[in-house]
Amino acid sequence: MKRQLHLNLFIHSRGHHEASWRHPDSSPLPLTDIRYYQDLAQRAEAAKFDSIFLADQLALGGDAAQAARTWLEPITVLAAVAVATQRIGLIATCSTTYTEPFNLARQFASIDHISNGRAAWNIVTSWLAAAAANFGGDGQVSHADRYARGEEVMSVVKALWDSWAADAVVDDRASGRYAKPDRIKPIDHRGDFYRVEGPLNLPRCPQGRPVLVQAGSSDTGRRFAARHAEAVFTAHMAKPAAQEFYADLKRLAAEEGRDPDHVLILPGLSPMIAGTEAEAQRLAREANDLTDPEVGRKRLSNRFGGHDFSHLPLDRPLRAEDFPDPATVQAARSRTEVIINLVRRDHMTLRQLLGYLAGARGHYVTAGTPEQIADLIENWFADGAADGFNVMPPLLPVQLDAFSTQVIPILQRRGLFRAEYAGTTLREHYGLPWPQSAFDAPARQAALQGA
């Protein structure tokens, strides 16, 4: 079969444009109303998206007065979305820096059971400096320490998910036997950060393990993704950078002994869609006119670990020297490099940079007709820049509907996207294998010998 695209809907605020929350065309529902998330997931499922995704930060941030900074805790949302949908994959973000691995393993295993095999975890190390103040207050954990802890969390969580064989539960009322004790094993983990005895207090997941998603972009982050991730989110402002990232991550995955086809690369894409290009650009300008430069200035400061940009005039062209060296930034280092490269390339003013970042925080932003958006998607997909896209509609739900009803049919006609779901689990939608555990190996051997 022809290689097909994977599409994920990234649900964020009332859309990815910074001013979406106050746009007259975005959803009237409160951001704390679960019907908002259920409705978006149902729309995405009707359009045959592979999955939906919820990001998360562990602090409010300083601009709640002028920006919609509230959202529900993502794992809790997934439980409610799972019971309102049947097929679509469900991805929630949770932090390895601020969550115990036993809780992580248990919560995502629960979502996998609740959804019958549609759960995925977006593994983050939490770059936002303000988060540290909510968890003990000892200051930001360094980039390197966050990833070192993340590695240990991954080995604990995987071992806990593998601590039950798929056939461990007997649940036989007549004999009084609930489970086979020899098919459940403790993990006895003793590491630098955690001691965890195990086993998990839940049977093996419908997917074996929930799908693992990651978005590391620094050198350390890419290696982490290459070792663990089955889907990788990434942000690029130009196709050559996306191609470089794609080739590098596939190479690193092969170096880790993994099949590069089992590491899907999904760059962010935020398209404003209309019947003509001029109308799409008018819609984009209309959203930009609603932005507040001071909200953008605070966001930029967060990106650079709290660096003060308040003295910079809005209308003078920026220089690379106006920014701290990315190597000294303990937040999301790779995104700071993207921003500085953009300033070097386009000699923008601060106002122009903030306007650009307002679109989708450094992801690829475009405005055009459905044909133009479908052409762009096909072009990146065919040219080694993407296995699919993290679709980030600037306004929700209107621009999701435009994508679903106008762009997806073109992709389907070109044979690039499914017309129906073939499977029921997210692993099946993404074309990922069953994750083997130590318990599976002898059972497989026996099955092979019996055959």
Ligand X SMILES: Cc1cc2nc3c(=O)[nH]c(=O)nc-3n(C[C@H](O)[C@H](O)[C@H](O)COP(=O)(O)O)c2cc1C
Parallel, antiparallel or unpaired: strands 364-368 and 264-273: parallel
How many CB atoms lie under 10 A from the CB of residue 442?
Answer: 10
- Cα(375)–Cα(436) distance, rounded to whole angstroms? 38
93 binds ligand X per the rule CB under 6 A = yes
Question: Applying CB under 6 A, which of residues 115, 390, 404, 437 lies at the interface with ligand X?
Answer: 390
- Cα(20)–Cα(31) distance, rounded to whole angstroms? 12
Q: Looking at residues 144 to 203 of the shown chain, list those that interact with ligand X (rule: CB under 6 A).
A: none
DSSP 355: H
Q: How many residues bind ligand X (CB under 6 A)?
A: 21
Find the part of the chain contacting ligand X (CB under 6 A) among 40-48, 242-250, 326-334, 443-451: 326-334
**Three-state SS for 104?**
helix
- Cα(127)–Cα(302) distance, rounded to whole angstroms? 9
Nearer to ligand X, 62 or 409 (CB): 62
217 binds ligand X per the rule CB under 6 A = yes
268 binds ligand X per the rule CB under 6 A = yes
Q: Which residue is nearest to ligand X (CB)?
A: 221
Find the part of the chain contacting ligand X (CB under 6 A) among 109-117, 332-340, 427-435, 438-446: 332-340
91 binds ligand X per the rule CB under 6 A = no
Between the alpha carbon of residue 209 and those of residues 113, 121, 263, 393, 404, the distances in Å are: 11, 10, 15, 30, 30
305 binds ligand X per the rule CB under 6 A = no
Nearer to ligand X, 96 or 163 (CB): 96
Question: Applying CB under 6 A, which of residues 17, 43, 227, 333 lies at the interface with ligand X?
Answer: 333
302 binds ligand X per the rule CB under 6 A = no
Note whether 218 and 233 are within 8 A (CB): no
Site string for ligand X, 96-135 (x = CB under 6 A): ----------------------------x-xx--------
Burial letters for 148-163: b for 16+ Cβ neighbours within 10 Å, e otherwise?
bbbbbbbbbbbbbbbb
Rounded to a whole number of angstroms, the CA Rg of the chain reads 22
Give residues in contact with ligand X (CB under 6 A).
55-57, 93, 124, 126-127, 215-218, 221, 233-235, 268, 332-335, 390
